[in-house]
Amino acid sequence: MLINISEIKQRAGEIINDGYDHHFLNNDNAVFREKVPTAENVCRQLFDDVAPLFTGNRAKLVAVHLRETPDRSATAYANRRLEANYWFDFSAARQTISPHLDAAENEELFGVCTAEHGHNYRTRLTFGAESATAEEAGVSTHTEISALIRSLRDELDHKNLNRDLDAMSGEPITTESLSRFILRSGSDKKLPLLRVRLHERNDFFAEAWSDGGMFLGMRQSFGAAHRLHVRSFSDIQNTELFGKCNNPGGHGHRYVVEATIGGEYDERSGALANFEDLHDALE
């Protein structure tokens, strides 16, 4: 074990409770009397406040993730990098096919998804910001990002992606290719768009990175019981270390596994991997 989770809660909890929880940040937190309390700035300040509490500990704070709303979040990293996340939804119909494959090849790769069907898509746009411009993070670009999201929703929502999306005419229509299209849309507007994660289902997504990286992710859950207990420790040591989680009767969790694969996007098929192969591997 790297560090006791109770220790993290205690150390970080004091900072959060004393300086953030149920406070009007502009008035009650001295830092935000001058600094705009955007999600990015609050996230960065939380990192700066909490990180010193782990000085001298083998476990170091490497990132703070802050969710402001279901559609807005931020991440601050130890290397001073900041990221701003914006989510939006759209519903669209499609056939999962590539015009570069013949009918038999499309059927073999995409199966029943070659028939017309629809998805309620959920999209995450991740933008980068340098700490030197933290005050502007989420402020100066907010108007441009909002305009981009409106434009994308207008272009994608309640459309048949094979017939209505002129910008992808002649291209494969897959979750991977759609994530790349959304990434290009942000890059064309000179926004610092780093990554696009596109969920076609809650348990399946494609992610396109500005450096050319492509990833597919799938989630699966399982239920299991356990007891946190080290056989070589005394009962007192185990209780001190694990608390209630050392209960001899055990306890259970609903675990969620997220498996992500990465590789080279295939321009011909528009796919990174076969969906069924990924699903079967996780099963």
Distance CA 126, CA 117 (A): 28
Q: Where exactly are the structural domains of the chain?
A: 1-64, 81-282
Tell me the three state secondary structure of residue 157. coil
Residue 124: name the closest of 167, 165, 75 by CA.
75
pLDDT in tens, the chain (283 residues): 677 777 788 888 999 999 999 999 999 999 998 888 999 999 999 999 999 998 888 889 999 999 999 999 999 999 999 999 999 999 999 999 999 999 999 999 999 999 999 999 999 999 997 644 444 544 447 888 999 999 999 999 999 999 999 999 999 999 999 999 999 998 877 788 999 999 999 999 999 999 999 999 999 999 999 999 999 999 999 998 888 999 999 999 999 999 999 999 999 999 998 888 887 877 7
Q: Which superfamily does 81-282 belong to?
A: 6-pyruvoyl tetrahydropterin synthase/QueD (3.30.479.10)
List the structure tokens of 169: 């005419």
- Give the global pTM: 0.89
Count the helix, strand and coil residues of the chain and give each as a percent rounded to the nearest 5.
40, 30, 30
DSSP letter assigned to residue 33: G
Say how far apart CA 136 and CA 13 lie, in whole Å: 28
Helix orientation angle between 5-19 and 39-50, rounded to the nearest 10 degrees:
120
- Dist CA 133 CA 127 (whole Å): 13
